[in-house]
A and B are shown apart, each in its own frame.
Chain A
Amino acid sequence: MISINNISKDYHTGDTVVHALKKVSFEISQGEFLSIAGPSGSGKTTLLNILGCIDSFDTGIYSFEGEEIAGKTRKELARFRRENVGFIFQTFNLIPVLTAFENVSFALSLLQVDERDLKARTMSILDEVGLTGMEHRRPTELSGGQQQRVAIARALVKDPKIVLADEPTANLDSANGKAILDLMRTLNRKYRTTYLFSTHDPMVMDFASRLVSLHDGEIVEDVRRN
């Protein structure tokens, strides 16, 4: 489904050049529950950003379902993300003035889904993540775990081909973190949506069916588990 070949990315800070990714290559199949692990500065977030088309790469080839990403305009990339990618962020990134329902339906409104369908799909996914009855609450009226559930619902409501999660449990306590991972895995099995999440937490890595380890911008390990 996803193929990246010799992807490199450098960051320039004045005269200093940081090699964030060095000729990284791997493939991801549909339905995988994949963890990208590594210490801080290993290139996890950069790789995730490139896969989510929110950051550019310097060299290499990235193709998504056979379609090359390089060369797409900003507008095309926005459309690509809108239709194919769901994001879950470490800090949830919910819009504080909107209710849980509105935060989730935001992703659908970008796809111009009709009102009735939008309502039904949003309520259904909120039910799926265990937030029935909380749809009218604003983020400040929800716990951290509940906010991340809203973020998961927002990522999944549009039925994306891939969900990218950047350290999704980093801001949660271990019980909530485990619950979120359980939920993500359940949904992954149910809908066969591909999940890719970055982490440096061993507990989180244990949940993954495949573990890709990065170190200094290079893949040092790629392990599949049953």
Chain B
Amino acid sequence: MKFILSLALKNLTRYRRRTIITSIAIAAGLSIFIMLDALLLGMEQESERNIIWYETASAKIMTAENFEHMEFLSLKYPIDNPEKITSLLNDQGFRSTTRITFGAELLVYEDPFPADGSTQVKIAAVDPESDGDVYRFTEIIEKGKFLQKGEEGILLGSWLAEDLQADVGYPVTLLTRSRDGYYQTIDLEVTGIFNCPNPYVNRATALIPLETADYYLQMEGGVTEIAVSLPSSADPAEEAAAINQLLQQQGNPENAALGVYTWQELAYDYLQFAAAKQGGSKVILFLVFIIAAVGISNTMLMAVYERIRELGMMRALGMDDGKLRAAFILEAGGIGFIGSVFGVLIGSILTWYFVRRGIDFTFMMRDMDLGYRVAGVMYGTWNVWTIITAFIAGIVISMIIAVFPTRKVVRMEVADALHHQ
């Protein structure tokens, strides 16, 4: 075994240029794999965070009917006595806030706007005092101020404001339907603009005070949802089950119609999309690996064919086929090792850059919908497991690929191998 190992190592230096070129191919494949994986993971993690912080919260309490018709932003299935539930949650140490979410047409008129126009928006009517306990809108106000209790006003996402050419102090009108289905218009003044890292929110969401919505939409204290914040370390499904149990134990018959839905259930479409994207990304990563594998295969094929006579001699001297195969496999493993070391090194440097600096995709995300909830700079995330996997895979795949060309030589008659031209 010592001889085989020594021979494999010496053969690596024998064709130095070829070893280097193949190692570079492996290193390039692995570094791209590590970097892409870090970026994708970073985008997924940031998307999930931005969904929880700006869309779904960790979990929501809603009526089952409202959950079923969630995409219609309907006001027909509200929670009528949310205070009892929020006080129960507060007693149990859960941070929560109430919201009325509905769809509206946002109308603007010439002067101060450059032209008349309208756009469909999603309105979140929030409790200014408790919304910050669950969501993060208070931290992303770019202009003006956050909503205040007892004051009317509307906050626009910065991309929405940019599209409308709106500014703080501008009047807008919301055209929507009340809880009973009657048309209602609400005139409001823009009191602030928030710059949300979640493009879905930044592009088409506006916030108004809960009191305003309650009054104009005749909600009579009812809300469409109670959003709950959970620690990031908590298991949302377990916590949702615990909250559900609390609700059912409260003794309020109205609670029987309520459900507690985790962010994963609320953002089901996004998760489906992310899973599909992951599949697509894996195909790309697989192709990168194939390119590296072809490089190794070609190198090993040439190495084997150039040494057929030498291999014939070794077999003539009585070297077992298994040991011969092992020598080539170890040689390929050596190339894989060199490539993997450099691949991991370069991949880690690239990942470090993307973790620290990120890559600015604002120009693309502004007008395109990639599905991810990342608006501008995309940051990578370290994934040690991927780095270890890539390192091992680089070596193992190289070794596996070497099996095929070696097998052909081993099958040759020794005499034929010795006289091979």
Chain A: residues with CB nearer than 8 A to chain B? 49, 52, 54-56, 74-75, 78-83, 85, 87, 89, 91, 93, 95-98, 102, 105-107, 109-110, 154
* Interface contact B7-A54, CB-CB below 8 Å: no
Other A-B pairs beyond A82-B318, A87-B316, 17, CB < 8 Å: A54-B315, A54-B418, A75-B320, A78-B315, A78-B318, A78-B320, A79-B318, A85-B318, A87-B313, A89-B313, A93-B310, A93-B313, A93-B418, A97-B7, A106-B3, A109-B2, A110-B319
**How far is it, in angstroms, between the C-alpha of A55 and the C-alpha of B413 when the chains are bound?**
7
List the A residue with the shortest CB-CB distance to B15: A97
List the B residue with the shortest CB-CB distance to A84: B318
A203 smallest CB distance to B (angstroms): 24
Question: Does B11 count as interface, using CB distance less than 8 angstroms?
Answer: yes
B409 smallest CB distance to A (angstroms): 13
Query: Could you list 14 examples of A-B contacts with CB < 8 Å?
Result: A54-B415, A55-B413, A74-B321, A75-B320, A78-B318, A80-B318, A81-B318, A85-B318, A87-B317, A89-B313, A95-B310, A97-B11, A109-B3, A154-B317
**How far is it, in angstroms, between the C-alpha of A89 and the C-alpha of B415 when the chains are bound?**
12
* Interface contact B316-A98, CB-CB below 8 Å: no
The residues of B that contact A83 with a CB separation of less than 8 Å are 318
Question: Does B309 count as interface, using CB distance less than 8 angstroms?
Answer: yes
Within B370-421, the residues touching A (CB, 8 Å) are 413-415, 418
* Interface contact B10-A97, CB-CB below 8 Å: yes
Would you give the 0/1 interface string for B1-42, flagging 1 where the beta carbon is closer than 8 Å to chain A?
A: 011001100110110000000000000000000000000000
* Interface contact A52-B316, CB-CB below 8 Å: yes
* Interface contact B317-A81, CB-CB below 8 Å: yes
The residues of B that contact A74 with a CB separation of less than 8 Å are 321
B302 smallest CB distance to A (angstroms): 16
**Which 8 residue pairs across A and B have the least CB separation, nearest first?**
A82-B318, A54-B414, A97-B10, A55-B415, A93-B313, A109-B3, A81-B318, A49-B415
**How far is it, in angstroms, between the C-alpha of A78 and the C-alpha of B415 when the chains are bound?**
13
Most A-side CB within 10 Å, residue of B3, B10, B318: B318
**How far is it, in angstroms, between the C-alpha of A78 and the C-alpha of B315 when the chains are bound?**
7
B183 smallest CB distance to A (angstroms): 87
* Interface contact B318-A55, CB-CB below 8 Å: no
List the B residue with the shortest CB-CB distance to A91: B309
A177 smallest CB distance to B (angstroms): 21
**How far is it, in angstroms, between the C-alpha of A109 and the C-alpha of B318 when the chains are bound?**
11
**How far is it, in angstroms, between the C-alpha of A54 and the C-alpha of B3 when the chains are bound?**
23
List the A residue with the shortest CB-CB distance to B414: A54
**How far is it, in angstroms, between the C-alpha of A55 and the C-alpha of B3 when the chains are bound?**
26
A42 smallest CB distance to B (angstroms): 16
B160 smallest CB distance to A (angstroms): 69
* Interface contact B418-A89, CB-CB below 8 Å: yes
* Interface contact B13-A97, CB-CB below 8 Å: yes
* Interface contact B414-A110, CB-CB below 8 Å: no
Would you give the 0/1 interface string for B293-319, flagging 1 where the beta carbon is closer than 8 Å to chain A?
A: 000000000000000011011111111
Q: With A49-B415, A89-B418 in contact, is A98–B319 under 8 Å at CB?
A: no
**How far is it, in angstroms, between the C-alpha of A97 and the C-alpha of B12 when the chains are bound?**
10
A121 smallest CB distance to B (angstroms): 15
List the A residue with the shortest CB-CB distance to B318: A82
A135 smallest CB distance to B (angstroms): 16
* Interface contact B318-A54, CB-CB below 8 Å: no
* Interface contact B317-A110, CB-CB below 8 Å: yes
List the B residue with the shortest CB-CB distance to A79: B318
* Interface contact A93-B309, CB-CB below 8 Å: yes
The residues of A that contact B316 with a CB separation of less than 8 Å are 52, 54, 81, 87
**How far is it, in angstroms, between the C-alpha of A106 and the C-alpha of B315 when the chains are bound?**
12
A90 smallest CB distance to B (angstroms): 10
Most B-side CB within 10 Å, residue of A54, A55, A56, A80: A54
Q: With A81-B318, A82-B318, A107-B317 in contact, is A54–B10 under 8 Å at CB?
A: no
**How far is it, in angstroms, between the C-alpha of A81 and the C-alpha of B315 when the chains are bound?**
9
The residues of A that contact B14 with a CB separation of less than 8 Å are 96-97
**How far is it, in angstroms, between the C-alpha of A154 and the C-alpha of B312 when the chains are bound?**
15
**How far is it, in angstroms, between the C-alpha of A54 and the C-alpha of B413 when the chains are bound?**
7
**How far is it, in angstroms, between the C-alpha of A79 and the C-alpha of B318 when the chains are bound?**
6
The residues of B that contact A78 with a CB separation of less than 8 Å are 315, 318-321
**How far is it, in angstroms, between the C-alpha of A184 and the C-alpha of B313 when the chains are bound?**
20
B303 smallest CB distance to A (angstroms): 12
The residues of A that contact B319 with a CB separation of less than 8 Å are 78, 82, 110
The residues of B that contact A106 with a CB separation of less than 8 Å are 3, 314, 317
List the B residue with the shortest CB-CB distance to A98: B10
B243 smallest CB distance to A (angstroms): 69
Q: In the complex, which of the residues B6, B318, B321, B413 contacts A110, with contact meaning CB atoms closer than 8 Å?
A: B318
**How far is it, in angstroms, between the C-alpha of A185 and the C-alpha of B367 when the chains are bound?**
89
**How far is it, in angstroms, between the C-alpha of A15 and the C-alpha of B319 when the chains are bound?**
34
**How far is it, in angstroms, between the C-alpha of A42 and the C-alpha of B10 when the chains are bound?**
40
List the A residue with the shortest CB-CB distance to B419: A45
**How far is it, in angstroms, between the C-alpha of A49 and the C-alpha of B316 when the chains are bound?**
9
**How far is it, in angstroms, between the C-alpha of A75 and the C-alpha of B3 when the chains are bound?**
20
A168 smallest CB distance to B (angstroms): 14
B410 smallest CB distance to A (angstroms): 9
The residues of B that contact A75 with a CB separation of less than 8 Å are 320-321
**How far is it, in angstroms, between the C-alpha of A89 and the C-alpha of B7 when the chains are bound?**
21
The residues of B that contact A110 with a CB separation of less than 8 Å are 317-319, 323
**How far is it, in angstroms, between the C-alpha of A56 and the C-alpha of B312 when the chains are bound?**
15
List the B residue with the shortest CB-CB distance to A80: B318
**How far is it, in angstroms, between the C-alpha of A52 and the C-alpha of B309 when the chains are bound?**
16
The residues of A that contact B312 with a CB separation of less than 8 Å are 54, 93
B336 smallest CB distance to A (angstroms): 19
B96 smallest CB distance to A (angstroms): 72
Would you give the 0/1 interface string for B73-84, flagging 1 where the beta carbon is closer than 8 Å to chain A?
A: 000000000000
Most B-side CB within 10 Å, residue of A55, A80, A107, A109: A109
**How far is it, in angstroms, between the C-alpha of A5 and the C-alpha of B236 when the chains are bound?**
84
